[in-house]
A and B are shown apart, each in its own frame.
Chain A
């Protein structure tokens, strides 16, 4: 609902606004749906002026249809696929994180979601040399761990420091601060320390930490806030061409199967969902994890891959998974 105010369009001056308000027309919707002949008779404004104002307001506030061909062209030029750095995960995700989409990682405590987020952030900032925004809601981010992972990838101090500078960290602990942070990112008011690189990924760890205590019981606002967060994430991913990676906790449903937390409404928000679990085999190393694709619009689900958190491989192992789509790789444009 947009309130009618002086100056929102030419021809709408203070007298007209006041006259309309006296007739109980307060918002743009009221004006657009009112009968302009009656209005022109009741107040002193001419019918022509009202028609002109309505036309301008409609043009300003209406959504424009776009043809599919234009949309496809835009998609081809703006979508990029960011590898996570682990070829097993990339296989599950159809070669990586897609910009313009939300990918979700679910799992119980200790299943490795934060580690995967770290590895992805480190890979994107070090190998792909792009900026990453990391929103930490539960205090799990440790810069020492990021440095450790960087030291395994590159041995020069300058590259490590440069990669660390490309990761922008926000620490928010409640849903209102999270919404404020996301809205600032969407508007573009966030000061990025690194000029010359664009933000290509946004990692939110975890979304359930701030939302789970707002849902349920006699609280009326929880769902609304959850959907606002979803809306902001989707707008950011589409408008800024950013790949969004979100972590969520896992709960058990009636039959004992693991499913994503935060309920049914949230489960429709991410495009792709991967479940991480520990592998409890005798003789298995402590870093071994099982990743299962549980929701995807591009690949068949229930595919499983085992990988080790400690052995995050470098780019030489990723060539095997090249899929022909445009892939963001170390300054070389992909072949289509």
Chain B
């Protein structure tokens, strides 16, 4: 009730009219009816209704998830509770042990991860593999969830996904050795895997932004979804954009939405990014595209490098040290691991 009107999420014109009518804090608006507010502040009836609704939802201790919504802001969580929660959320394993150990266990759930690399290095392949791996049943070591794949480049091939699903099914059948695992694997077929992989095709940045606005509702309706892949985030923003500052603002806003999504719905968000050449001090090097401060605070960024036709090198560029391994002060900066492709 002490919250100032200027800090409410309302349209600026409405807020100006309210403050010039003399309302300063939410307590001033507490007992007013919409018609009264209409007359006193000089706003339309719809605006008055919206104001009072915002007040009510703001004050109510809503939100089942204590990490989001109005309830979160009143009582935070202690770091101890956060630790317990992090242990409960697993990692999405890729079933490639070298990659998993390089990543400190797998793709972290509840955080955003960026994969960047030159064209043809295997980013889309890795993303489709993750979308299949997240569906592996829990008793065999997977997460048992579903995946949402947002394709902006048109590089998703259903046939390839079916091949990867087939390989995963065969691999898991070999692993299962007791009745419980075999029973769980009966449900793990190529058709079921493909039916639990949601695909969205976005053709430009407006569609991508619109879809990201709708993602929270989608995830609320489908709580089994544990992985959201956006392949790629760079493509819609890199061409046809004249206003670079607007691009940066949109990307920062998108980044915050995705981080909020990952935290509140406990999903892993994986983004692929392209590379660009940076010329600095007379030298040129490949750096991730979209600017230096895009996603400035991703916890994890991986860079894939081409070695041979079937081998890739993964550089973990950790903005935070990997959770499992303690940070050794003498280790070389990137952790390089040779990774061979699946199948």
Contacts and interface: CB of A to CB of B under 8 A. Distances in A.
B28 interface: yes
A191 B263 contact: no
B12 interface: yes
B8 A145 contact: no
A1 B82 CA distance: 42
Is the interface on chain A under 10, 10 to 19, 20 to 34, or 35 or more residues? 35 or more
Interface in A84-126: 108-110, 114-115
Interface string B273-296: 000000000000000000011011
A287 interface: yes
A168 B76 contact: yes
Contacts of B19: 1
Given A109-B297, A187-B2, A180 B252 contact: no
B78 interface: yes
A141 interface: yes
B249 A212 contact: yes
Interface in A128-149: 133-134, 137-148
Contacts of B111: 139
A142 B246 CA distance: 31
A177 B71 CA distance: 11
Contacts of B299: 139-140, 142
A165 interface: yes
Given A3-B22, A216-B245, A179 B68 contact: no
Contact of B12 (A141, A145, A220, A251): A220
A164 interface: yes
B100 interface: no
A189 B74 contact: yes
Nearest to A146: B79
Given A148-B326, A213-B253, A310-B327, A142 B86 contact: yes
A140 B329 CA distance: 21
B256 A138 contact: yes
B63 to A, nearest CB: 11
B332 to A, nearest CB: 7
A184 B80 CA distance: 22
Nearest to B85: A143
Contacts of A273: none
A3 B23 contact: yes
B183 interface: no
Given A109-B319, A142-B320, A193 B78 contact: yes
A266 interface: no
Most A C-beta atoms less than 10 A away, residue of B6, B262, B321, B323: B321
B40 to A, nearest CB: 9
Contacts of A184: 73-74
A268 to B, nearest CB: 20
Nearest to B269: A139
Interface string A147-180: 1100000000000010011111111111011011
B319 A180 contact: no
13 contacts: A2-B22, A3-B22, A139-B299, A144-B83, A148-B326, A167-B78, A170-B72, A173-B260, A174-B9, A180-B58, A180-B70, A184-B74, A213-B249
Interface of B: 2-4, 6-9, 12, 19-24, 28, 58, 67-68, 70, 72-80, 82-83, 85-86, 110-112, 243, 245-246, 248-250, 252-253, 255-257, 259-260, 262-263, 292-293, 295-299, 317, 319-321, 323-324, 326-333
Given A3-B22, A213-B250, 4 more contacts: A144-B324, A212-B249, A216-B246, A228-B7
